[in-house]
Amino acid sequence: MREEKYDVVVVGAGPAGSVAAKTAAERGAEVLLIERNQEIGVPVKCAEGVSKEIEKFVEVVPRCVSAEVKGANIYGPDGTKVVLSAETMDETGYVLERKIFDKSLAIAAARAGAEVRVKTEAYGVVKENGFTKGVLARCGCSDYSDCSGGGREGEVRISADVVVAADGVESRVGRWAGIKTRLRPSEVSVSAEFLMCGLERELNSDFSEFFVSNEIAPKGYAWVFPKGSGCANVGLGISGDVSGEKHRAFDYLRAFARMKFPKGGVVAEIYGVVPLSGSLPETTADGLVLVGDAARQVNPLTGGGILYAIQAGEIAGEVVAKAVQEKDFSKTRLAEYEKRWRSEFGKRLETGLKAKEFFFGLSDKDLNKLAHSLEGVKIEELSVGALLLELVKRNPKMLLGLRKILL
């Protein structure tokens, strides 16, 4: 087995991993970023919507954006519409082209000095005296000598002082290192999405749309994100504990797509799982940092995680680079990462979890009542927080529990 040595190895080249690799490399660390798939950004497992706030952290070039939206329309079970609009503000939202966006982040990491390697899958971690000290990986190149020195089946031992686990919702790296990362069905959203085209007549190209109904998507919601040229991401997510035979996310999506866009054509199907559990109790260990979905840094109410992943990746990169300079890779040293990300957006995730638990228990009758209370009201801020505050203001008794969470 070939052996390699780096200061930092990052497992997973999604937004969190690529930003962590770039940030650490910019600060002088020798970084290897590995991705198990043969192409970064593929397959896409995302609705691709994101707040324009993302521009505070990374450059979003025009080719990474499919569409720019002015706001969001949210529909209750009976069709009542609630409008979140940013038309009077500079803030808008983007629908990304994740295949291009993710590659752009990995390219930025490479330009910063990180080595990027695809078709390289971690299958274990290296442990020494209780510290995570690297990963064991297999290279999928057709000629193994190109990437692993001709080791058996392309196997390579990658030693590193710090491992950044950015390997998604399953986070096998975190589990191998001793962190409990398993999720119960009730803690995930099982999602299905169609890329549909031929929707020119039916599609509202200026607004993202969300549909809340237990008939359409029990313990979840459906979405339509315009992508330009009459195309859109049409998808939904349901809680894993209500998914079953003939009640899968795909079954609900097929029914929704037929109802909403009966003449639309499906040109791609996308499936995935999103963690809705709230963040892990601990996201660091000796020699290990977890970022993005691996750390459950996803808003449990909305399922949105791109922005949090990028923020966490940047913080992780800064902290591990400092650890390399100081030659201190202990959990105590890496705890700076934990403290900083929780300070930056941990409260949002906690609020999202409590709000999710509240809303998932509502009937369609309750959801209609809430939608009616906002009918005709234009909320001049494109954010979930603004929506929740308006709901609490107009339904103080019904949402007393939610009010305590927000205020």
Tokens of 216: 């359409």
Residues 6+ away with beta carbon under 8 Å from 78: 364, 368, 371
Tokens of 160: 């590193």
- Please provide residue 228's backbone torsions phi and psi, each rounded to the nearest 5 degrees: 90, 155
> Which residue blocks in 162-270 are alpha helix, DSSP H?
172-176, 249-260
CA 268, 271, 277, 278 torsion: positive or negative? negative
Quick one: pLDDT at residue 151? 44
Backbone torsion region of residue 376, taken as left when φ is above 0, otherwise alpha when ψ lies between -120 and 50, otherwise beta: left
- Please provide residue 57's backbone torsions phi and psi, each rounded to the nearest 5 degrees: -115, -35
Quick one: pLDDT at residue 148? 45
Domain 2-44+100-183+279-346 in this protein, CATH class? alpha beta
With both helix axes pointing from N to C terminus, report the angle between 15-26 and 98-111 in degrees, rounded to the nearest 10.
20
334-370: burial string, b at 16+ Cβ within 10 Å, e else? bebbbebbeeebbebbebbbbbbbebbeeeeeebbeb
Tokens of 298: 């996803």
Q: How far is CA 365 from each of CA 78, 218, 256, 369, 383, rounded to the nearest angstrom? A: 9, 14, 20, 6, 24
Quick one: pLDDT at residue 147? 55
Distance, CA of 149 to chain centre: 35
Cα–Cα distance measured from residue 229 to residue 232, given in angstroms and rounded to the nearest whole number: 9
Quick one: pLDDT at residue 90? 40
Quick one: pLDDT at residue 92? 58
| Cβ count near 269 (within 10 Å) | 12
Quick one: pLDDT at residue 405? 66
Quick one: pLDDT at residue 25? 98
Bridge partners, residue 9, by sequence: 32, 163
Per-residue pLDDT of the chain (407 residues; tens, 9 = 90+): 899 999 999 999 999 999 999 999 999 999 999 999 999 999 888 889 998 889 999 999 999 999 999 888 999 999 999 988 765 444 458 999 999 999 999 999 999 999 999 999 999 999 999 999 999 999 876 444 455 444 445 899 999 999 999 999 989 999 999 999 999 999 999 999 999 999 999 999 999 999 999 999 999 999 999 999 999 999 999 999 999 888 999 999 999 999 999 999 999 999 999 999 999 999 999 999 999 999 999 999 999 999 999 999 999 999 999 999 999 999 999 999 999 999 999 999 999 998 999 899 899 999 999 999 988 777 766 677 788 888 888 888 888 767 766 65
Cα–Cα distance measured from residue 35 to residue 227, given in angstroms and rounded to the nearest whole number: 27
Cα–Cα distance measured from residue 22 to residue 7, given in angstroms and rounded to the nearest whole number: 13
> Which residue blocks in 183-300 are alpha helix, DSSP H?
249-260
Kind and range of the H or E run holding 34: strand 31-34
